């Protein structure tokens, strides 16, 4: 990711005064931040980019430098690819940047999330403010997280609600870490290991190799209706690659490259912003590449799911017709990919890269080693 270039420019206002602006440029795009410094036209040295001939020149130049340094610091402290959009987000909440609740409130209202999710996150923030009325980002320690759990248990919230609130808190803790780097205490959630309910485990039950073959055979059957084939092929592509449905629908021809006769799928996860690179010519005998070739003349249609709210209903129905006696959703395809790779003795760190998990612990949840694999690995 190309670094942002910072420079200064002047802009004359309606009163003939010069406004000093910081110009931030990346990939030939520029945005401007006002330093709130106003001077006469003869008080600006264009060559040296500083205020001159003004009795308060030292303080005014200090104000300008402070804004530039603050913007530069945002980029230096940020973990990951830093964009102009991220810079704007930080600048918008700079007045309250050390207040976690203000940051969380800003993110809740401005993130691209469902209204129901937004409502859930607002409820978590309400509980956090009851638990501890004020919280700066430096206060996000392990003790703070444990204290919030004690608070929830103290008011008799059920386990499902506690898990939900902790997931929300961890989400915004991670955002704070990404935005403010080492200003946020590190490892505050390492103590917390979410226990999966029986319902969650059921919903995430992976398909076996035999299940996938049954679906493939059903798809290959000339008697299978075309609309079922199209939906199931999308599901199969997700099961071969492990991509989320949100990532699948964002794929285009540009996400595929060929290197040394190997076709690669390259994308950045919509959910986690994690870069993922998968050799689809190799994984699962190139089945994903075969689907790509089959739909090469209409990839835009293939990666489109118009009926996304009903997609899981259709997939579950069609899989039952294919002889799969399990609850099947698009996310089961992702879990299936991880589990099948485990059963092929693929190293868990490799699976992590393919699935696109930032945490190895999450990959371990998806890909629990089967008894047969354990015996094979130890033989």
Q: Residue 357 carries which DSSP code?
A: -
Residue 197 is predicted with a pLDDT of 47
Q: E-strand spans in 46-164?
A: 50-51
Place of tokens 């589990």: 339
Say how far apart CA 228 and CA 319 lie, in whole Å.
Answer: 10
Residue 221 is predicted with a pLDDT of 95
| pLDDT, tens digit (0-9, with 9 covering 90-100), for 181-223 | 778 898 898 888 765 444 444 445 789 999 999 999 999 999 9
Structural domains in the chain plus CATH codes: 5-85 (no CATH), 94-195 (1.10.150.130), 202-378 (1.10.443.10)
Residue 141 is predicted with a pLDDT of 93
| C-beta separation of 264 from 279 below 8 A | yes
Which pair of structure tokens corresponds to residue 33?
């931040």
Residue 177 is predicted with a pLDDT of 83
Say how far apart CA 354 and CA 350 lie, in whole Å.
Answer: 6
| pLDDT, tens digit (0-9, with 9 covering 90-100), for 367-377 | 554 555 545 55
Nearest to 176 by CA among 165, 164, 163, 188: 188
Q: Would you call 102 exposed, middle or buried from its count of C-beta atoms within 10 A (0-12, 13-18, 19+)? A: middle
Place of tokens 């794929």: 251
- Render the burial of 217-253: b for 16+ CB within 10 Å, e for the rest: ebbeeeebeeebbebbbbbbbbbbbbbbbebbbebee
Q: What is the helix, strand, coil percentage profile of the chain, to 5?
A: 55, 15, 30
| C-beta separation of 276 from 332 below 8 A | no
Residue 201 is predicted with a pLDDT of 42
| β-sheet bridge partners, residue 266 | 277
- For residue 208, report the phi and psi dihedrals to the nearest 5 degrees: -90, 175
Work out whether the CA dihedral 82, 85, 89, 91 comes out positive or negative.
positive
Residue 373 is predicted with a pLDDT of 52
Q: What is the largest CA-CA distance in the chain?
A: 87
Residue 272 is predicted with a pLDDT of 75
Residue 77 is predicted with a pLDDT of 65
| C-beta separation of 298 from 315 below 8 A | no
Residue 277 is predicted with a pLDDT of 93
Residue 94 is predicted with a pLDDT of 59
Nearest to 171 by CA among 114, 121, 112, 96: 121
Say how far apart CA 356 and CA 274 lie, in whole Å.
Answer: 6
Say how far apart CA 281 and CA 353 lie, in whole Å.
Answer: 16
pLDDT tens string for the chain (379 positions)?
568 899 999 998 888 889 999 999 998 899 999 888 899 999 999 989 999 998 888 989 988 988 888 788 777 766 667 888 888 877 766 555 578 998 898 888 877 788 888 999 999 999 999 999 889 898 999 999 999 999 999 999 998 899 999 999 999 998 888 777 778 898 898 888 765 444 444 445 789 999 999 999 999 999 999 999 999 999 999 999 999 998 999 999 999 999 999 999 999 888 777 889 999 999 999 999 999 999 999 999 999 998 777 899 999 999 999 999 988 999 899 989 988 998 888 888 888 888 887 767 667 765 554 555 545 555 5
| C-beta separation of 59 from 46 below 8 A | no
């Amino acid at each position: 990711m190309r670094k942002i270039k910072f420079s200064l420019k002047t802009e004359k206002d309606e009163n003939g005064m010069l406004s000093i602006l910081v110009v931030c440029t990346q990939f030939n795009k520029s945005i401007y931040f006002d330093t709130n410094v106003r001077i006469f036209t003869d008080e600006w040295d264009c060559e040296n980019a500083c205020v001159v001939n003004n009795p308060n020149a030292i303080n005014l130049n200090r104000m300008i430098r402070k804004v530039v340094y603050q913007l530069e610091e945002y980029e230096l402290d940020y973990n990951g690819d830093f964009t102009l959009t991220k810079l704007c987000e930080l600048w918008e909440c700079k007045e309250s940047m050390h207040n976690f609740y203000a940051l969380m409130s800003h993110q809740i209202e401005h993130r691209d999330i469902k209204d129901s999710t937004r409502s859930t996150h607002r409820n978590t923030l309400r509980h956090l403010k009851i638990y501890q009325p004020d919280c700066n980002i430096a206060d996000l320690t392990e003790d703070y997280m444990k204290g919030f759990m004690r608070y929830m248990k103290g008011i008799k919230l059920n386990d499902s609600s506690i898990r939900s609130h902790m997931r929300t808190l961890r989400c915004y803790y991670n955002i704070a870490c990404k935005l403010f780097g080492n200003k946020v205490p590190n490892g505050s959630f390492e103590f917390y290991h979410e226990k999966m309910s029986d319902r969650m485990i059921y919903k995430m039950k992976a398909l076996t190799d035999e299940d996938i073959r049954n679906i493939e055979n059903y798809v290959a059957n000339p008697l299978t209706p075309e609309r079922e084939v199209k939906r199931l092929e999308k599901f199969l592509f997700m099961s071969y690659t492990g991509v989320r449905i949100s990532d699948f629908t964002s794929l285009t021809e540009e996400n595929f490259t060929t290197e040394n006769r190997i076709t690669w799928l390259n994308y950045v996860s919509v959910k986690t912003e994690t870069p993922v690179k998968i050799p689809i010519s190799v994984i699962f005998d190139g089945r994903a590449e075969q689907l790509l070739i089959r739909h090469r003349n209409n990839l835009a249609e293939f990666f489109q799911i118009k009926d996304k709210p009903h997609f899981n209903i259709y997939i579950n129905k069609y899989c039952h017709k294919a002889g799969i006696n399990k609850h099947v959703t698009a996310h089961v395809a992702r879990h299936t990919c991880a589990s099948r790779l485990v059963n092929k003795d693929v190293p868990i760190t490799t699976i992590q890269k393919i699935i696109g998990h930032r945490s190895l612990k999450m990959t371990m949840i998806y890909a629990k080693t089967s008894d047969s694999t354990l015996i094979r690995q130890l033989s």
